[in-house]
């Protein structure tokens, strides 16, 4: 068994334990393997261990890697989780099933435009799932800049302005700290917002809460996470010099 397979098995056990501890249904939390900075070979190890959902934060890197995987007959699901520039959206909608890092209306407009264009070209309707990325901690840099901008974006989705975008929920990153109370507060903020948006916009679905990473996913599960994004604990440390 590869180290990656062992790590995945271990994390799945911990997820099951946390689900149980929190009184949640078994299987209510999906594991995303964050493969940024790791090669296609590592992704294949994970696929062979039964992993099908992956996350990448840079479109160019993801595109090259997942192209290679497809040429080898693998077709895993990919979510984009990093801040996204407009000129990368065209490629992002071609390789990913979900963009979790939606943080501004201009980005939504570009995603809508590229999905419409792709639908026209391919003759098949291309829709993409999105999560709204939210600031919930002191030191977080990414996410909607204000609650007003978020509410504007959500209400424009509800009124049908973005027919190719399928709203699935919310995403956040907890502050990078060892203070568990700050991390927990961040996740609770996202959970609370989910409740508010769900009742305010009943035509949209906010079922998915993408929160929790290698260092804090058990806490995230206790606070209601449905997708945990785990990189280092599966693939090891990233080599940023590459």
Ligand X SMILES: *Cc1c(COP(=O)(O)O)cnc(C)c1O
CB 230, CB 33: distance < 8 Å: yes
Among 11, 81, 93, 221, binds ligand X (CB under 6 A): 81
By the 10 Å C-beta count (0-12 exposed, 13-18 middle, 19+ buried), 175 is classed as: middle
| Region binding ligand X by CB under 6 A among candidate stretches 4-12, 66-74, 218-226, 227-235 | 227-235
Both structure tokens of 205 = 């679905």
Both structure tokens of 183 = 């991390």
Distance of alpha carbon 107 from alpha carbon 90, whole angstroms: 11
Among 193, 218, 59, 200, smallest CA distance to 208 is for 193
Number of residues that bind ligand X (CB under 6 A): 14
Q: How far is the CB of 212 from ligand X (least distance, A)?
A: 8
Q: How far is the CB of 83 from ligand X (least distance, A)?
A: 9
Both structure tokens of 58 = 């840079």
> Regarding beta strands 30-34 and 227-230, do their DSSP bridges make them parallel or antiparallel, or are they unpaired?
parallel
Among 34, 69, 131, 219, binds ligand X (CB under 6 A): 34
Among 78, 173, 174, 209, binds ligand X (CB under 6 A): 173
Side-chain-side CA neighbours of residue 194 (13 Å): 26
| Region binding ligand X by CB under 6 A among candidate stretches 44-52, 60-68, 90-98, 224-232 | 224-232
| Region binding ligand X by CB under 6 A among candidate stretches 40-48, 146-154, 182-190, 209-217 | 209-217
Residue 131 touching ligand X (CB under 6 A)? no
Give the residue closest to ligand X by C-beta: 231
| Minimum CB distance to ligand X smaller for 164 or for 213 | 213
Among 18, 57, 189, 225, binds ligand X (CB under 6 A): 57
Residue 232 touching ligand X (CB under 6 A)? yes
| Region binding ligand X by CB under 6 A among candidate stretches 44-52, 159-167, 194-202, 212-220 | 212-220
| Minimum CB distance to ligand X smaller for 91 or for 161 | 91
Distance of alpha carbon 33 from alpha carbon 225, whole angstroms: 15
Angle (nearest 5°) at CA 7 between 65 and 70 = 20
CB 207, CB 170: distance < 8 Å: no
23: left (phi over 0), alpha (psi -120 to 50) or beta: left
Among 12, 36, 90, 94, binds ligand X (CB under 6 A): 36
| Minimum CB distance to ligand X smaller for 36 or for 126 | 36
Instruction: Give the residues lining the site for ligand X (CB under 6 A).
Output: 34, 36, 57, 81-82, 173, 213-215, 229-233
């Amino acid at each position: 068994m590869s180290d990656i397979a062992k790590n995945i098995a271990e994390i799945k056990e911990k997820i099951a334990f946390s689900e149980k501890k929190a009184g949640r249904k078994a299987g209510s939390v999906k594991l995303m393997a964050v493969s940024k900075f790791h090669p296609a070979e590592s992704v294949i190890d994970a696929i062979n261990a039964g992993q099908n959902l992956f996350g990448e934060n840079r479109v160019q890197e993801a595109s090259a890697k997942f192209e290679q995987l497809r040429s080898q007959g693998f077709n895993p699901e990919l979510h984009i989780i990093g801040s996204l520039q407009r000129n990368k959206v065209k490629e992002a909608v071609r390789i990913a099933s979900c963009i979790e890092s939606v943080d501004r209306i201009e980005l939504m407009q570009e995603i809508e435009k590229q999905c419409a264009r792709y639908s026209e070209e391919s003759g098949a309707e291309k829709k993409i799932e999105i999560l709204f990325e939210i600031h919930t901690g002191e030191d977080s840099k990414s996410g909607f800049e204000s609650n007003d901008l978020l509410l504007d974006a959500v209400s424009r989705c509800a009124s049908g302005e973005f027919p190719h975008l399928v709203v699935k929920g919310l995403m956040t990153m907890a502050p990078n700290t060892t203070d568990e109370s700050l991390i927990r507060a961040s996740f609770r903020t996202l959970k609370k917002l989910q409740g508010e948006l769900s009742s305010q916009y009943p035509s949209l679905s906010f079922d998915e809460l993408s929160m929790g990473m290698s260092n804090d996913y058990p806490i995230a599960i206790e606070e209601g996470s449905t997708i945990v994004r785990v990189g280092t604990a599966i693939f090891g440390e990233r080599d940023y010099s590459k």
